[in-house]
């Protein structure tokens, strides 16, 4: 059959797209990345269940955005606890280190004055050396009016074991008190509680008395020289004990466990040791330091972040006065220094 004079039988017509036309887009299910290597961990699309590469921000199948996990907001009390801990733990404890150095330095001076004998390190320094460096003795305080002996014994020790035990206690407890209350309060606390312990020791020496089993825990009938920082250390324990009770409602959980009731076992163990060794341990000094520290913590607040400048200045002045008392006390020791071995 012919149409228009041109035969169509046996011919095959090929239709090609114009050069400017675009190829049809791929179906949605073919929108997968060419490179199947993903870094990290893939996830599942919550909309269509397709596998999503770790680096993808949207599903390549349905186009749904990948939901990012939202960090849980900390409750208010947890945020407070974190800020509290940072504010306290970031504070320096300079004077804890200063007191450590001073105690060891004076100990070395006392050992040198004892002839650097090895026996003196373990048995103890001779009494003339203890008296010369400012040991507490009722006769020299009461009769000779050497008042500085209420302060200087805080920095003196009788032998190597004595100084190591007390300085270890200072290294463990001192930084906490200094961070909680600040360096200025810490210096005042150390000097005041230490002197209170020496004073308690002075008041409980009753020559010629015959104390019973219980009374002998505190009362002594002989005026032996007494030295050591343990009164001040018990003062720091008393401060932490009252601190934990006084601020228990605003302390983070870790602080509650460490202070307050957490100090009771330490107090009881040390008092038991003192009772067992009451013939050589000055328990009155320990108890005087403990009670004075507790009294100070009851009336003095800890150093809160952002406290007024006027409060800081007041405590700085008290800190300088406390350090001045220590310096003047040892100046009097040097002025009256005399060793007759």
Pairing verdict, β 2-3 and 6-7:
antiparallel
Q: What is the pLDDT of residue 38?
A: 44
Neighbouring C-beta atoms of residue 226, cutoff 10 Å? 24
Catalytic residue among 114, 162, 183, 286: 286
Tell me which of 113, 230, 292, 329 is the catalytic residue. Answer: 230
Predicted pLDDT of residue 329: 97
Q: Helices (H) and strands (E) in the chain — how many of each?
A: 11, 4
Which tokens sit at 195?
């002197």
Determine contact, residues 159/123, Cβ cutoff 8 Å: yes
Considering the four listed CATH numbers 3.20.20.10, 3.20.130.10, 3.40.50.300, 1.20.1540.10, the one that applies to the domain covering 90-335 is: 1.20.1540.10
Calculate the CA 122 to chain-centre distance: 31
**Residues ≥6 apart with Cβ < 8 Å to 152:** 133, 134, 135, 329, 330, 333
pLDDT attached to residue 75:
52
Q: With H, G, I as helix, E, B as strand and everything else as coil, classify residue 57.
A: coil
> Tokens representing 249?
């409602």
Burial pattern 263-300, b for ≥16 Cβ within 10 A else e, equals: beeeeeebbeebeeebeebbbbbbbbbbbbbbbbbeeb
- Note the pLDDT of residue 53: 74
Active site residue 230: yes
Is residue 46 within 8 Å of 67, Cβ to Cβ?
Answer: yes
What three-state secondary structure class fits 65?
A: strand
Rounded alpha-carbon distances, angstroms, from residue 272 to 269, 275, 277, 283 = 5, 5, 9, 10
> What is the full per-residue pLDDT of the chain (341 aa) written as tens digits?
444 444 444 444 444 445 444 545 545 444 444 555 545 577 777 777 677 777 777 777 777 777 655 455 555 455 556 666 676 778 889 999 999 999 999 999 999 999 999 998 999 999 999 999 999 999 999 999 999 999 999 999 999 999 999 999 999 999 999 998 999 999 999 999 999 999 999 999 998 888 888 888 999 988 999 999 999 999 999 999 999 888 887 776 667 777 877 888 989 999 999 989 888 899 999 999 999 999 999 999 888 766 676 678 999 999 999 999 999 999 999 999 988 75
Task: State how far the Cα of 248 lies from the Cα of 258, in Å rounded to an integer.
Answer: 11
Angle at 106 between CA 194 and CA 96, to 5 degrees: 55
Would you state the pLDDT for residue 151?
Answer: 97
Q: pTM score, two decimals?
A: 0.75
Taking 3-state DSSP, the helix, strand and coil percentages for the chain, each rounded to the nearest 5, stand at 55, 5, 40
Establish whether 286 is a catalytic residue. yes
- What pLDDT, on a 0 to 100 scale, did the predictor assign at position 8? 45
């Amino acid at each position: 059959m012919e149409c228009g004079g041109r035969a169509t039988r046996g011919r095959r017509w090929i239709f090609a797209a114009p050069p400017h036309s675009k190829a049809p887009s791929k179906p949605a299910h073919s929108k997968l990345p060419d490179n199947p290597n993903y870094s990290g961990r893939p996830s599942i699309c919550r909309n269509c269940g397709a596998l999503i590469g770790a680096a993808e921000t949207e599903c390549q199948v349905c186009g749904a955005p990948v939901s990012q996990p939202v960090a849980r907001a900390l409750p208010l009390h947890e945020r407070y606890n974190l800020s509290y801990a940072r504010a306290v733990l970031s504070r320096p404890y300079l004077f804890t280190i200063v007191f450590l150095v001073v105690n060891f330095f004076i100990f070395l001076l006392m050992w040198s004055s004892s002839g650097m004998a090895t026996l003196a390190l373990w048995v103890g320094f001779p009494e003339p050396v203890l008296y010369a460096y400012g040991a507490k003795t009722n006769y020299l305080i009461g009769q000779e009016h050497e008042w500085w002996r209420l302060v200087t014994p805080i920095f003196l020790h009788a032998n190597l074991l004595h100084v190591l035990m007390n300085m270890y206690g200072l290294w463990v407890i001192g930084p906490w008190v200094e961070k909680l209350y600040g360096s200025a309060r810490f210096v005042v606390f150390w000097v005041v509680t230490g002197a209170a312990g020496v004073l308690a020791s002075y008041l409980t020496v009753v020559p010629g008395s015959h104390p019973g089993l219980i009374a002998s825990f505190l009362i002594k009938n002989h005026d032996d020289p007494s030295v050591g920082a343990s009164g001040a250390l018990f003062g720091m324990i008393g401060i932490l004990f009252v601190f934990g009770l006084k601020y228990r409602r605003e302390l983070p959980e870790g602080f509650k466990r460490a202070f307050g009731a957490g100090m009771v076992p330490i107090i009881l163990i040390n008092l038991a040791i003192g009772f067992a060794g009451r013939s050589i341990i000055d328990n009155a000094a320990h108890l005087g330091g403990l009670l004075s520290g507790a009294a100070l913590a009851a009336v003095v607040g800890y150093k809160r972040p952002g406290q007024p400048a006027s409060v800081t200045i007041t405590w700085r002045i008290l800190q300088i006065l406390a350090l001045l008392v220590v310096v003047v006390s040892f100046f009097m020791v040097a002025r009256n220094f005399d060793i007759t071995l």
